Amino acid sequence: MTLIAVGSPLPPFRVMDDRGNEVTEADWKDKTVVLYFYPKDDTPGCTREACGFRDGLEAFTERGASVYGVSADDGPSHERFRDKFELNHPLLADVDRVLCQAFGVWGPQEWKGQVYEGIARSTFVVKHGQIAHVFPNVDPTGHPERVLAVL
Beta carbons of 60 and 88 less than 8 angstroms apart:
no
CA distance 7 to 72: 25
Residue type (1 letter), 26: A
Active site annotation includes 51: no
Of 83, 87, 94, 77, nearest to 22 by C-alpha is: 94
Residue of 46, 67, 131, 138 marked active site: 46
Query: Residue 122 forms beta bridges with which residues?
Result: 37
- Give the Cβ contact number of residue 55 at 10 Å: 12
Catalytically active residues, by annotation: 46
